[in-house]
Amino acid sequence: MLRKICILLIALLAVLPVGCRKADPQPTETTACPALATEAVTEALPVTEAASETAPEPETVPETEPPRTFTEADFNFYVDGCGEPDPDRINVTFYPNGTDPDIRVWNSCQITNPVEIRDICGRILASEYYDFDRYGRTLDSMVVEWQAHNGVNALYDNERTRHVDFNRADEGVTYLEFWQRAMEELTIDN
């Protein structure tokens, strides 16, 4: 049990956003990171001809794939009981009934690009089935929950973590609170 909690904490630290950002609650722009003073270093450490021939090449950072551009044809929005999943599309089911109605994105763990996640969440909010008075979710809150779901799923893949569900009760829950819940549930499950 302690081992799983440690693994989750390490994973949490690994997926937290890093970089130079303003302390704005809704960061939309990044500030430039200070440049390193490389000139002084290269002047202080002259490279000999023999050293330059044997020096290893710097590691190249793999390029990330650009986000996909979705069209309406990529989505299958439907209300529970009034539609069927389509294996070739992004399936989004709306569950409007009950005391805590929710929206589920099936196999959301397969979508990890933050730009794509934000685009899909925006399309959910613009869907004909979405009603804020019923579902009560905002774009930023949905993105945070989806990213937390993906992080937990990367460590502990199961049926529950593969599909993100946006229910009204989770509006405003922070990334760390989602992780805390996941740790508590793993502790209870085991």
pLDDT in tens, 150-162: 999 998 888 888 9
Task: Judge whether 76 and 86 are in contact, CB under 8 Å.
Answer: yes
Residues in contact with 155: Cβ distance below 8 Å, sequence separation at least 6, in sequence order: 7, 8, 11
CA dihedral 62, 26, 93, 185 (to 10 degrees): 80
54, pLDDT greater than 70: no
Contact of 175 with 144, CB cutoff 8 Å? yes
pLDDT at 144: 96
Neighbours of 7 (CB within 10 A): 14
Q: Which is higher by pLDDT, 124 or 27?
A: 124
State the average pLDDT for the chain: 76
75 phi/psi in degrees, rounded to 5? -115, 150
Among the listed residues 135, 182, 177, the one whose alpha carbon sits nearest the alpha carbon of residue 156: 182
Tell me what the mean pLDDT of segment 78-94 comes to: 96
Residues 103 and 135: beta-carbon distance below 8 Å: yes
pLDDT in tens, 137-181: 999 999 999 999 999 999 888 888 899 999 999 999 999 999 898
pLDDT of residue 185: 80
- Going from N- to C-terminal start, the domains of the chain cover 72-189
91's tokens: 């399936």
DSSP string, 77-135: EEETTS----TTSEEEEEE--SSS-EEEETTGGG---HHHHHHHHHHHHHSTT--HHHH
Averaged pLDDT for residues 103-126: 97
Q: Which residues pair with 164 in a beta bridge?
A: 105
